[in-house]
């Protein structure tokens, strides 16, 4: 094998072949066994003096903030001086020694093998018993990648050809490039990519051992990935354990692989996700049952633990718009067998005095990744422009198209009783006298969401398209169509600032000429999740008495800059743009309204507690608005 290794292997001017350690983050450090040097030992400072400030000199590649992240010792920030109950951090020589070691480890991991701490200067104030540190760093020159090679280790010619073809397909996805600065995380990423893709191509026994050699004089490092694929394998027998109430046939239906198919690691992950999404298990694990001697057939054991058959959740809260609110959620798992779920949800708030939903959900309906839900409901709504009572049912079929895309088709049948002011009836509903009517509609919804993390997204995009056609199957006084598109984008511009943006466009219209659209289905703007410079539903068309009547076209744009403040506190600065128009397909960009403001977020286990203060920029007479809620506005 030594004939396959690079020739330029001269760490410390001695030819050496070095195996990569298994612990990420200290790879190059372990390889080079570098010792950090502090020319001036930190003995001048007084132990336990208050640490005022830590600054750096000579650091060109990494900012002071990045270096401070490696340290336990911290200087006093301007706001921490006002926290009289919080004890300030004090200087400790031993801790400084460890912090300097961690700083050099960062440099070594990033390819700066000659980095060193030149001096540490101390500025002490004996009268106040404070000390400030100035850490002088000599970064040196980084090492670059001299060569990269990928060597399959197998005596099977067919496996060798398959391995080399796979490596060829992966070359554009590798992070390491000849001529770039060496970084530990790039090498680990390439090693993990090789293991993942070989495991997804029939090689569950694959091992990848990177070897490196350093030419210290030329500042070049050569990398060789030694790849032992093992035998080409196929799925074997599947055993299911831990299921007491859920039939094994229901679980097997969620598996995306069958006995005899080529082994793929991602098939195990997809199967685990689909089994868990049945909603009746606390955890799901798929284990490979490797034999002592490598075999071309890999047995799989599916281990599940069923959740309690009956659960109850009770919650209380307060919001600026819905006032005091509370809910009760009762769930019965494996109702009548077959992994069915029966749930009863009841909620009360200022906006929904009564909201009662009964849901019966059948997973694996027709297809493995499809579920059906029958949902009878009764709901009362209390909005600024109307009051409504609804009683009816939804029949929903939902299908998971792929990992980030869901599609659902909902047939809704309900009877609606609307209570509106007479002036609204005359001016916005063309004097239609009907207040109790049947409504039947079909709604198609497609959602694509790769944003994350779930409660405080910092990356990715959310897109939702909703199409509704009302007037199918039963006579109705209001037949209409509606389309809504909403896109949210999250991007971390630089640490730690996150940019969030949202665009919402909606339009609706009647299916019968001469009839208006129902007021309770129209678009309204203003409130904690809309135009935050206005109170709920207060932006858009109104009657002569100043009551909101909603519109048939809506356009909203929102932009937020989100930034941390301290620990679980963070802040936002936002700009909202939008309006609602009464006409269908009418968007007057000259009539857009603007609102700006700021907000505070407090992290909680169920999402951030949100406080927003917004002001209408285009309507000076509108007072400042205060919004209190749970979760981000978008």
Share of the chain above pLDDT 70, in %: 90
Q: What is the pLDDT of residue 382?
A: 94
Task: Give me the mean pLDDT over the 616-622 stretch.
Answer: 91
pLDDT higher than threshold 80 for residue 15: no
User: Which residues 6+ apart lie within 8 Å of 170 measured at CB?
Assistant: 193, 194, 197
Mean pLDDT (whole number) for 190-208: 96
Mean pLDDT of the chain: 88
Minimum mean pLDDT range among 78-92, 138-152, 477-491, 605-619: 78-92
422, with CB counted inside 10 A (0-12, 13-18, 19+), is exposed
Q: Which of 220, 91, 50, 74 is nearest to 147 (CA)?
A: 220
Is the pLDDT reported for residue 33 higher than 50?
no
Which pLDDT tens digit goes with each residue over 344-394?
999 999 999 999 999 999 998 988 889 999 999 999 999 999 999 999 999
Residue with tokens 């008495």: 545
Closest CA to 634 of 501, 458, 535: 501
433 by Cβ neighbours in 10 Å (0-12 / 13-18 / 19+) ranks as: exposed
Taken in order of first residue, the domains within the chain and their CATH numbers are 2-26+143-228 (3.10.20.310), 34-138 (3.10.20.310), 234-306 (3.10.20.310), 452-630 (2.40.160.50)
Q: What angle do CA 294, 299, 305 make, to 5 degrees?
A: 135
Q: Are 610 and 630 a contacting pair, CB within 8 Å?
A: yes
- Tell me the sheet residues that pair with 344: 330, 358
Strand order, beta sheet including 116-125: 50-57, 130-138, 116-125
Nearest to 490 by CA among 575, 595, 560: 560
Model pLDDT, residue 479: 87
Q: What is the pLDDT, as a whole number, of residue 532?
A: 96
* Residue 91: predicted pLDDT: 86
Instruction: Judge whether residue 318 has pLDDT over 80.
Output: yes
CA distances in angstroms from 289 to 170, 270, 294, 295, 519, listed in the order given? 28, 18, 11, 11, 61
- Which tens digit of pLDDT belongs to each residue from 255-307? 999 999 999 999 999 999 999 989 899 999 999 987 667 788 999 999 999 99
476, pLDDT greater than 90: no
pLDDT per position as a tens digit, 67-125: 999 999 887 665 555 555 556 778 888 899 999 999 999 999 999 999 999 999 888 88
At residue 542, the 3 state secondary structure works out as: strand
Burial letters 168-195, b for 16+ CB under 10 A, else e? eebeeebebeeeebbbbebbbbbbeebb
**Strand 341-348 with 625-630, pairing:** unpaired
Contact 289, 298 (CB under 8 A): yes
What is the reported pLDDT for 10? 28
pTM of the model: 0.74
Phi, psi of 31 (to 5 degrees): -65, -45
- Residue 48: pLDDT band (50, 70, 90) is confident
- Sort 31 into a burial class: Cβ within 10 Å, 0-12 / 13-18 / 19+: buried
pLDDT value at residue 23: 39
Give the list of residues 6+ apart from residue 143 with CB closer than 8 angstroms, or none.
111, 112, 113, 181, 182, 214, 219, 220, 221
d(CA 170, CA 208): 15
* Cβ neighbour number for residue 23 with a 10 Å cutoff: 10
Q: Which residue has the higher pLDDT, 14 or 629?
A: 629
Confidence of residue 490 (pLDDT cuts 50, 70, 90): very high
Q: What is the tens place of the pLDDT at every residue in 525-564?
A: 999 999 999 999 999 999 989 999 999 999 999 999 999 9
Q: Which residue has the tokens 């440099």?
A: 107
pLDDT band of residue 495 (cuts 50, 70, 90) is confident
Percent of the residues in the chain that have a pLDDT greater than 90, as a whole number:
69
């Amino acid at each position: 094998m030594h004939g396959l290794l690079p020739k330029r292997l001269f760490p410390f001017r001695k030819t050496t072949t070095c195996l990569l350690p298994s612990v990420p983050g200290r790879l190059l450090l372990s390889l080079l066994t570098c010792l950090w040097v502090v020319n001036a030992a930190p003995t001048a400072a007084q132990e336990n003096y208050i640490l005022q400030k830590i600054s750096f000199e000579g650091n060109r590649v990494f900012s002071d903030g990045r270096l401070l992240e490696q340290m336990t010792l911290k200087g006093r920030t301007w706001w921490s001086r006002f926290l009289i109950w919080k004890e300030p951090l004090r200087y400790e020589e031993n801790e400084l020694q460890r912090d300097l070691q961690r700083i050099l480890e960062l440099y070594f991991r990033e390819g700066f093998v000659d980095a060193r701490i030149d001096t540490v200067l101390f500025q002490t104030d004996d009268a106040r018993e404070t000390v400030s540190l100035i850490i002088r760093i000599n970064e040196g020159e980084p090492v670059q990648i001299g060569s990269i090679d990928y060597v399959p280790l197998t005596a099977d010619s067919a496996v060798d050809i398959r391995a080399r073809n796979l490596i060829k397909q992966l070359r554009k996805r590798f992070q390491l490039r000849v001529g770039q600065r060496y970084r530990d995380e790039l090498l680990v990423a390439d090693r993990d990519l090789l293991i993942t893709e070989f495991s997804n191509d029939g090689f569950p026994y694959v091992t990848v051992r990177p070897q490196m050699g350093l030419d210290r004089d030329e500042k070049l490092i050569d990398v060789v990935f030694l790849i032992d694929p093992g035998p080409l394998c196929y799925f074997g027998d599947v055993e299911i354990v831990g299921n007491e109430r859920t039939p094994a046939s229901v679980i097997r239906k969620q598996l995306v692989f069958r006995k005899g198919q080529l082994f793929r690691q991602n098939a195990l992950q997809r199967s685990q996700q689909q089994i868990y999404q049945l909603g009746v298990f606390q955890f799901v694990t798929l284990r490979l049952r490797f034999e002592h001697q490598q075999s071309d057939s890999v047995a799989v054991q599916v281990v599940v633990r069923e959740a309690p058959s009956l659960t109850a959740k009770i919650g209380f809260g307060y919001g600026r718009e819905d006032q005091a609110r509370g809910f009760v959620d009762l769930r019965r798992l494996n109702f009548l067998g077959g992994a069915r779920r029966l749930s009863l949800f009841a909620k009360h708030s200022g906006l929904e005095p009564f909201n009662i939903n009964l849901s019966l959900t059948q997973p694996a309906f027709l297809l493995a990744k499809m579920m059906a839900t029958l949902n009878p409901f009764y709901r009362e709504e209390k909005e600024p422009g109307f009051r409504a009572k609804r009683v009816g049912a939804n029949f929903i079929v939902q299908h998971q198209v792929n990992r980030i895309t869901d599609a659902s088709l909902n047939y809704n049948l309900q009877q609606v009783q609307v209570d509106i002011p007479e002036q609204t009836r005359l001016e916005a509903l063309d004097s239609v006298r009907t207040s109790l009517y049947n409504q039947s509609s079909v709604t198609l919804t497609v959602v694509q969401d790769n944003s994350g993390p779930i409660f405080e997204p910092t990356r990715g995009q959310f897109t939702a398209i909703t199409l509704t056609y009302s007037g199918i199957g039963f006579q109705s006084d209001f037949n209409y169509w509606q389309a809504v598109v909403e896109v949210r984008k999250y991007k971390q511009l630089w640490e730690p600032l996150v940019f969030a943006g949202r665009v919402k466009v909606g339009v609706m219209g009647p299916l019968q000429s001469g009839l208006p659209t129902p007021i309770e289905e129209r678009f309204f703007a203003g409130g904690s999740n809309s135009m935050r410079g206005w109170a709920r539903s207060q932006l858009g068309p109104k009657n002569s008495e100043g009551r909101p009547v909603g519109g048939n076209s809506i356009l909203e744009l929102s932009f937020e800059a989100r930034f941390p403040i301290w620990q679980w506190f963070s802040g936002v600065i936002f700009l909202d743009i939008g309006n609602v128009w009464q006409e269908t397909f009418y968007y007057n960009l000259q009539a857009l309204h603007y609102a700006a403001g700021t907000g505070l977020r407090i992290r909680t286990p169920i999402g951030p507690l949100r406080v927003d203060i917004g002001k209408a920029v285009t309507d000076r007479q509108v007072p400042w608005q205060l919004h209190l809620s749970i979760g981000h506005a978008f």
